[in-house]
């Protein structure tokens, strides 16, 4: 993982989402550059005048007089978006394009939880007017309709059904319907991309929803500090790709990158303030992205232990193990728990929403020894004291992670994860049954096949280091992953190596393999600039978005997909 020597049950997509029209690659219409979005409003002519009421108006019918139907060249072909829509039923007509005087109509009102989605889309399409309430939907308008209840704003969803949406282009009007504001948001991403790629949407109906409920990106901000602006730009980028998770690995041997008031001594000079973290969380939430904080232990604690050297793990020979905490020391747990509690309070979650926390757990050097009890007798002694004469170092380490899980659960975290090499064959102690396995490698000491985790009933998140690990400097035989390789040969079922995990199909659905995250690790921090990292991950993120939204064989060739990614 981070030194790469280093889930609610979700129904499968219904038959109605299986494509009824085969979407094949072909020559795309000329792209509408992002900078030309405003110009698109003028290219599609309309003799009616634009509303004079400013955006945000809540008045009733502002202009009861009929508007003239706008005219434009037909939008042809299939919707051109990433990820590709799951189902599109063509119809006869000219489709929909942004046009002068067109509005975004929100029947649910200005105080509804979809008002912000409508306002964002209107701005992205060149500053369209947004109107609320009982309005006549005029030619050229976009109507944004909430089919479910008007719940709390920007609360993470519970299932892929909550992320579904329907878009219909008919009679020069566009109707977007979804059960939640998340579904509305994803529909607006489709509109935005389609306008950029082809000027608009073809006549017909899109029915769309993701296959996997968890889709995202992980960032190692500990070894290489990334600026607030860079992080926010990546949040907007992954949101446009309909990815919904952002994992932040903020502590490691090289740095502790978030302000701490309980232990200011451990904080690196270049770090995010708590105010900046709150800003990241707020932006992520507005984009329907869940933040997954990671404070790794009992390994990868070098930045913390530099100021608490009495807690460093020592071998029997007396040599120090860098970055590893001595979990037999009675002062170790209180130090880490105080940091976990403080950071858990910083990374807030809406009431009732999934509340994620990543415990790390990987590459604890004591368990990478051929004989942990011989090399680390103090750990073996503590294990026997706690778990009886048969207690092992593996038991002690599993118990450590179980106790850290209880700490963050006491602060409201309810979706707990750890790296696969943090799950040990412990004879006396089992890893908490509610902890998800984040599977990144099969190269570690005592490696377990991902099939073994699935067979014992655990859910497994895909971090396959063969495809999804972008390790700066390419150490330890890592190579930078390519979008092409992900697009052509990876699916969420390919958890380790290059072949699908060998378990029955019933164990590979979204309820058991909830998705995947693309991980950026900063092992050799100076190997790339932030701008180079952004460029390097662009196509892999697009490919990941496609294969987690729909793991089937894509309709577009790689060349066509790459060209589309360059447009949208």
At residue 307, the 3 state secondary structure works out as coil
* C-beta separation of 13 from 211 below 8 A: yes
Structure tokens at 37: 């979005």
Beta strands in 302-384 (DSSP E): 312-314, 320-325, 356-360
Q: Look at strands 103-106 and 142-146 and give their pairing.
A: parallel
Structure tokens at 466: 């063969």
How far the first Cα of the chain sits from its last, in Å, is 32
Structure tokens at 142: 């976009």
Structure tokens at 345: 């309070």
* C-beta separation of 503 from 454 below 8 A: yes
* C-beta separation of 162 from 183 below 8 A: yes
Catalytic residue among 163, 203, 294, 363: 363
d(CA 204, CA 202): 6
Q: Is 143 a catalytic residue?
A: no
* C-beta separation of 206 from 190 below 8 A: yes
DSSP letter for each residue of 225-294: PPPHHHHHHHHHHHHHTT--EEEEEEESSS-B-B--SS-GGG--SS-B-HHHHHHHHHHHHHTT-EEEEE
d(CA 542, CA 567): 12
At residue 164, the 3 state secondary structure works out as coil
Check residue 14 and report its DSSP letter. Answer: P
Catalytic residue positions, numbered? 363
């Amino acid at each position: 993982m981070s030194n790469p020597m280093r889930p609610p049950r979700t129904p499968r997509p219904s038959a109605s989402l299986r494509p009824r029209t085969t979407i094949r690659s072909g020559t795309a219409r000329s792209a509408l550059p992002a900078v030309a979005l405003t110009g698109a409003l003028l290219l599609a002519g309309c003799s009616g005048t634009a509303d004079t009421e400013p955006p945000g108006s809540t008045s009733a019918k502002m202009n009861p007089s009929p508007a003239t139907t706008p005219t434009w060249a037909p939008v042809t072909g299939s919707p051109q978006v990433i990820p590709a829509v799951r189902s599109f039923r063509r119809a006869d007509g000219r489709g929909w394009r942004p046009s002068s005087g067109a509005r975004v109509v929100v029947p649910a009102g200005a105080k509804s939880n979809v008002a912000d989605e409508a306002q964002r889309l209107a701005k992205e399409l060149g500053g369209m007017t947004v109107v609320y309430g009982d309005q006549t939907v005029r030619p050229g308008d976009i109507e944004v309709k909430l089919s479910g209840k008007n719940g709390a704003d920007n609360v993470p969803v519970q299932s892929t059904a909550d992320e579904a949406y329907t878009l219909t282009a008919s009679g020069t009007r566009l109707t977007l319907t979804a059960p939640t504001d998340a579904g509305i948001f994803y529909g607006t991403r489709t509109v935005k991309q389609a306008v950029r790629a082809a000027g608009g949407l073809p006549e017909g109906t899109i029915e769309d929803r993701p296959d996997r409920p968890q889709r995202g990106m992980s960032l190692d901000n500990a070894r290489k500090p990334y600026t607030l602006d860079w992080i926010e730009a990546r949040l907007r980028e992954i949101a446009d790709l309909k990815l919904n998770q952002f994992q932040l690995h903020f502590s490691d041997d090289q740095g502790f990158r978030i302000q701490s008031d309980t232990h200011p001594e451990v904080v690196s000079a270049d770090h995010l303030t708590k105010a900046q973290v709150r800003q990241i969380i707020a932006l992520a939430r507005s984009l329907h992205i869940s933040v997954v904080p990671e404070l790794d232990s009992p390994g990868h604690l070098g930045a913390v232990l530099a100021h608490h050297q009495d807690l460093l793990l020592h071998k029997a020979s007396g040599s120090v193990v860098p970055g590893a905490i001595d979990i037999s020391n009675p002062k170790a747990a209180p130090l880490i728990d105080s940091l976990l509690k403080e950071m858990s309070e910083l990374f807030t979650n809406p009431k009732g929403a999934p509340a994620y926390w990543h415990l790390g757990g990987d590459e604890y050097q004591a368990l990478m020894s051929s004989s942990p009890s011989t090399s680390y007798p103090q750990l073996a002694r503590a294990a026997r004291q706690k778990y009886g004469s048969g207690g092992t170092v593996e038991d002690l380490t599993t118990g450590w992670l179980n106790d850290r899980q209880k700490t963050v659960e006491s602060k409201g975290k309810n979706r707990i994860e750890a790296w696969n090499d943090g799950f040990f064959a412990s004879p006396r102690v089992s890893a908490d049954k509610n902890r998800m396995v984040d599977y990144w490698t099969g190269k570690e000491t005592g490696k377990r096949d991902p099939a073994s985790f699935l067979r014992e009933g655990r859910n497994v998140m895909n971090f396959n280091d063969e495809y999804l690990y972008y390790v700066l400097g390419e150490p330890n035989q890592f190579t930078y992953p390519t979008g092409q390789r992900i697009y052509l040969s990876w699916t969420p079922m390919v958890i380790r190596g290059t072949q699908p995990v060998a378990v029955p199909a019933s164990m590979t659905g979204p309820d058991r393999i909830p998705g995947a995250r693309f991980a950026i690790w900063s092992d050799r921090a100076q190997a790339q600039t932030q701008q180079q990292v952004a460029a390097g991950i662009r196509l892999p993120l697009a490919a990941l978005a496609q294969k987690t939204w729909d793991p089937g064989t894509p309709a577009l060739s790689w060349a066509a997909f790459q060209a589309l990614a360059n447009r949208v």
